[in-house]
Structure 1
Amino acid sequence: MSKSIVANRYALALFKTAQENGQIDIIQQELLEIKQVFQTNQELEELLQNPRLSIAKKKELLAELFNGANQFVQNLLFILLEKNRMEEILNFVDEFVMIANDAAGVADAKVYSTRALTVKETAAISSTFAAKIGKQSLRIENIIDPSLIGGIRLQIGNRIYDSSLSGKLNRLQRDLIGS
């Protein structure tokens, strides 16, 4: 997770605004899309940091790229641009998602399995592990990993729960070798 104080402050301010206007989910979804744009287009960040391009031109570019975005999101992008903080956009989105998840009692989780999980299995994993970490539910991303042989590996933040067959075999091997 991000350790940027600046990103946290901007994220908290936008979260409070979104909360007051009942738009947390909409803004979170738009921010995740913006994050994806910045991750896939490194040239965009370089262009926005180019000193030869005026702030007005950069704002026009952002307004054109994200013209369907929520006004609060657009305003925040303009503020980041004006304050020369566009390099914080990815950290900012991560911070916003973390704040929104905490407020909703939700945690993001990655579940590695040998096959796609059913809706019933996903719900069971969510309810079981959400209680263990003090959350109401988990937002699960299922990742197929045939190297697990069987079982699942669950990652919530920096916690890993490994009940996969390959994990058990590795632990057994370490115990037998004695290291």
Structure 2
Amino acid sequence: MQGASSDSLHALTEALASAVEGGTDASKIGDDLFGVAAVLRREPGLRRVATDVSVSPEAKADLLRGIFAEQIDPASADLVAQAAGRRWAASRDLADALEHLGVVAVVRGAEQTGKADDLENELFAFERLVSGSPELRDALSDPARSTADKRRLLNDLLDGKASSATVRLAEQAVAGTHRTVVVALESYQKVAAEHRNRLIATVRVARGLAEHDAQRLQDALARQYSRPVHLNVVVDPDVIGGVRVAIGDDVIDGTVANRLDDARRQLAG
């Protein structure tokens, strides 16, 4: 988001933090905001009025509060009203911002229960599962299947294997607001990392990292980037040995294959 939308999202994120710190159930806010975002996407007329700069902020806030107040938590209703009262660069940004806030709220809910690390690990594992299974990917993107049916499939897959926060975000991922389920899951991982002020490092190795080796790598990367780092470890049979680390656009390739390629280039030179 850019311009007015970015400013509005920042202000709403701070309002969400205040609500959660005041004792509101963050997970409930997440569910509420996902629901309101879905309604706004289904109702273009309502979305246009709620983002129309010619309508006073107070009138727009009152409109959305009147529509949703009896269906959602008071703290959620306050956030929705505040969102309607702010400026948005594009009509769709309001619903997108509410979904983003919903993801942050789910992450905060996981923090409240001490499950935030589990959430990040499980989102990555589920994204890898979907990416690696064409059948599952097709089932979750099939336009002939209802969202409810896709969510039942997800619950069957994740029942007893993932935290409630992970299941909730997986369910949101099949709502169709992102280009694909994988894109949605990647987006949610980034939101979680940004909220927790962490970088995501994708680490490719030939075999799983021992816990002490993972911690050493994590600590070294945190020192290098001056921020905490969350490791997503991928066991890749194409990695002969060593480690390949990607953080954003940065790639640190210490694999045997890369070192052999360097040696060949030096000999050829």
TM-score between the two structures when normalised by the length of structure 1: 0.62
Against the structure 1 CA distance between its residues 74 and 124, is the aligned structure 2 distance closer, same or farther, given a 3 Å change threshold? closer
Report the equivalent of 1:16: 104
CA distance in 1, matches of 2:192, 2:234: 21
Give identity over the alignment, percent.
11
SS at match of 1:18: helix
CA distance in 2, matches of 1:73, 1:112: 28
Against the structure 1 CA distance between its residues 11 and 112, is the aligned structure 2 distance closer, same or farther, given a 3 Å change threshold? farther
- Identify which of structures 1 and 2 has the higher relative contact order when contacts are C-alpha pairs closer than 8 Å and 6+ apart: 1
CA distance in 1, matches of 2:220, 2:234: 16
Residue 180 (structure 2) pairs with residue 121 (structure 1): no
Question: How many Å apart are 1:132 and its aligned residue?
Answer: 1.5
- Structure 1 or 2: more strand by fraction: 1
Report the equivalent of 2:203: 110
The root-mean-square deviation of aligned C-alpha atoms, in Å, is: 4.0
Please tell me whether the aligned partners of residues 112 and 154 of structure 1 are also in contact (alpha carbons under 8 angstroms). Answer: no
Unaligned runs of 5+ in 1: none
CA distance in 1, matches of 2:170, 2:178: 13
The code of the aligned residue for 2:230 comes to L
SS at match of 1:17: helix
TM-score between the two structures when normalised by the length of structure 2: 0.45
Against the structure 1 CA distance between its residues 135 and 65, is the aligned structure 2 distance closer, same or farther, given a 3 Å change threshold? same
Question: How many Å apart are 1:108 and its aligned residue?
Answer: 3.0
Question: How many Å apart are 1:75 and its aligned residue?
Answer: 7.2
CA distance in 1, matches of 2:242, 2:173: 43
Question: How many Å apart are 1:13 and its aligned residue?
Answer: 2.8
Unaligned runs of 5+ in 2: 1-91
Against the structure 1 CA distance between its residues 111 and 133, is the aligned structure 2 distance closer, same or farther, given a 3 Å change threshold? farther
Please tell me whether the aligned partners of residues 218 and 230 of structure 2 are also in contact (alpha carbons under 8 angstroms). Answer: yes
